[in-house]
Structure 1
Amino acid sequence: MTEPTAKPSVLFVCVHNAGRSQMAAGFMTHLSEGRIEVRSAGSNPGANVNPTAVEAMKEVGIDISAEMPKVLTIEAVRASDVCITMGCGDACPVFPGKRYLDWKLDDPAGQGIEAVRPIRDEIERRIKGLIAELLPADETNTEA
């Protein structure tokens, strides 16, 4: 009997770990239905998750209100297969064998809900694409 493949893991990083990375982690957790290990962190974490990001995610049925910004650690990067940065510059350590993606997205900090919705929707689109890449086709939920 063969060992099951390890669950893929993704780390989302932005400066404050309060908006983009939290929304991405929320979508990844929800849409992957636990089939992908999800982490998020910030190079300079804020005190709380952006309330407008929380509101925008609630509109699509995902509650991130209990999340707290976390500091980016070398261990979190080492433990992740894919590291996605969202405007944190060079703060993310680079290790051989890891996949790095830089998602250029507007920062929701200080923005109203009308400005945050398109950011949320773009994050959701990218998360769906990433899930399709990370999980074999026979394991993903496909909608006709």
Structure 2
Amino acid sequence: MWNHPSEAGSRALDLSTAVLDRQLEQIADQLATRFTGVFSPATVRRYVGESFDMLASRSRVRRFLPSLTASFATERLTALAKAEGRTHGTVSEVLFVCVRNAGRSQIAAGFLSQLAGDRVLVRSAGSLPVALVDPNVVAAMDEVGVFLGAAYPKPLTDEIVRAADVVVTMGCGDACPVYAGKRYLDWPIEDPEGKSLMEVRRIRDQIQRQVQDLVAELFVKL
């Protein structure tokens, strides 16, 4: 059986515990196959359970938890594989970190993904993530052709930082661990949380300029 967090368990469940357990087992089995020869089934199962707990503790709608858990666990295991030298990729990885992972870091990740395509692996995370990406952020990005409707706030985890080549922080202070050999940038950008759509547009445009400068620097070195 999987350990379900007590806080999340106190809420009304969209899924019965038995159904949820079966879904998590299926996710773990699928990822164990995907990471055969890289991680043991026990390691995969542990990451699936941890990823579920992290997301469930702040989730408002549990019906999407299984799919979000699969996505988050896959991202964490992929990062861990790189950080531990179990896989060898030639693509640079950039991590954007803010407090809630609901605004600044999502905007930056969206722009970099659009501009760089598959030439850069882009991740984002939050030191204190919330349940949903800010609606005005989603709307402002949609205006410039960057879809964030599938994005969701994710906790900052150690392996995600270890896998990154460039870590860009935006207002999260000392929450991000520091590792040698990585490039750290701090962008002093205003938090769009609670701001009007007009104000979010201004912040969006500021982040876009920062990302464009970063892209120019990255591709010179690639």
Q: Is TM more than 0.5 here?
A: yes
Counterpart-to-counterpart distance in 2, 1:106 and 1:88: 12
- 5+ residue gaps, structure 2, are 1-88
Deviation of 1:8 after TM superposition, in Å, equals 1.1
Which amino acid in the other structure matches residue 36 of structure 1?
A: V
SS in 2 for 1:47: coil
Computing the radius of gyration from Cα coordinates, the structure with the larger value is 2
Counterpart-to-counterpart distance in 2, 1:77 and 1:66: 22
Which amino acid in the other structure matches residue 9 of structure 1?
A: E
Deviation of 1:6 after TM superposition, in Å, equals 1.3
Identify which of 130, 139, 143 aligns with 2:214.
130
Aligned-pair Cα RMSD in Å? 1.6
Tell me the residue number matched to 2:196: 112
SS in 1 for 2:190: coil
Counterpart-to-counterpart distance in 1, 2:220 and 2:185: 20
Tell me the residue number matched to 2:168: 84
Counterpart-to-counterpart distance in 2, 1:136 and 1:14: 26
Which amino acid in the other structure matches residue 56 of structure 1?
A: A
Deviation of 1:124 after TM superposition, in Å, equals 0.7
Q: Give the 4+ runs in structure 1 shifted more than 6 A.
A: none
Identify which of 122, 127, 133 aligns with 1:38.
122
Which amino acid in the other structure matches residue 99 of structure 2?
A: V
Which amino acid in the other structure matches residue 60 of structure 1?
A: V
Q: Which has the higher helix share?
A: 2
Q: Deviations over 1:59-102 (max 9, x none)?
A: 10111011010000110110000000000010000000111001
Tell me the residue number matched to 2:7: none
Tell me the residue number matched to 1:142: none
Tell me the residue number matched to 2:152: 68
Identify which of 103, 115, 118 aligns with 2:187.
103
- 5+ residue gaps, structure 1, are 140-144
Query: Structure 1 vs Structure 2: percent identity of aligned residues?
Result: 57
Which amino acid in the other structure matches residue 82 of structure 1?
A: V
Which amino acid in the other structure matches residue 77 of structure 1?
A: V
Q: Which has the higher contact order (CA 8 A, sep 6+)?
A: 1
Q: Aligned runs of 1:12-31 on 2, under 5 Å?
A: 12-31=96-115
Counterpart-to-counterpart distance in 2, 1:73 and 1:87: 17
Deviation of 1:122 after TM superposition, in Å, equals 0.8
Which amino acid in the other structure matches residue 167 of structure 2?
A: C
Counterpart-to-counterpart distance in 1, 2:109 and 2:189: 15
Number of positions where the alignment pairs a residue of Structure 1 with one of Structure 2: 135
Tell me the residue number matched to 1:59: 143
TM-score scaled by structure 2? 0.59
Counterpart-to-counterpart distance in 1, 2:188 and 2:220: 26
